[in-house]
Amino acid sequence: MPCLIFDFDGTLADTRTGILATAQEVLRRMGLPPADEAALGATIGLPLRENFTRGAGLSEEEADRAVAIYREIFESVGVPAIVLFPGVAETLKELAARGIPMAVATSRGQHSLEMLMHRLGIDDAIPPERCFGVETVARPKPAPDLVYVILGKMGARPEETLVIGDTTFDIEMGKAAGCHTCGVTYGNQSADQLAGASPDYLLDDLRKLVNP
């Protein structure tokens, strides 16, 4: 049976505003100037630490402190701005009703992922035991390790699995694991950026998974 593996940030949920607001508040609390929003936004989808080293130009030591502050304030600063993209809830519900196995593979922390899945009301379609955060593996995206873990847990074959995400990191991860890949163009990267990673499919609306 086909298996679907979804990214979370920028694919299921519009988290960009919340992530950027939290990161900029972290920098303010550290007495540092605001980061360039485009540079910071380009790192969404990577582990949080890289948001600060690559996106904000922080040193390794500064990034450690930034990550700690971010985790302390995210629920109060970032979470209120997070919403599902249009059609996501009904699409997941329909896929679950059809008996399609689904999982989430993300660079977000496990606790944060499970909290947001519940808050957004989609943990019935994809329960916590099928949600895999960055702590699951030693090598995060774009390494294929998260997908390997999910395939093993779900008894799925890569040639029957579709990895769906909004960044080249997701596409590279899926391709490296031998899966089919689909880029969604409404998230954090453009259709042109995604096309550079050569996904098998591009979608501008997740609802097209059930109504092409």
CA distance 93 to 106: 20
User: Cβ distance 123 to 8 under 8 Å?
Assistant: no
Q: Which DSSP helix (H) or strand (E) runs through 6? A: strand 3-6
Residues 6 or more apart in contact with residue 25 via CB below 8 angstroms: 73, 77
2 CB-contact burial (10 Å; exposed 0-12 / middle 13-18 / buried 19+): middle
CA distance 84 to 86: 6
Residue 7 catalytic? yes
Residue 200 catalytic? no
User: At which residue do the structure tokens 């701005």 appear?
Assistant: 81
Q: How many Cα atoms sit within 13 Å of 172 on the Cβ side?
A: 13
Q: List residues bridging with 23 in a β-sheet.
A: none
User: Cβ distance 147 to 85 under 8 Å?
Assistant: no
Residue 83 sits at φ, ψ, to 5 deg, of: -135, 160
The residues carrying an active-site annotation are: 7, 9
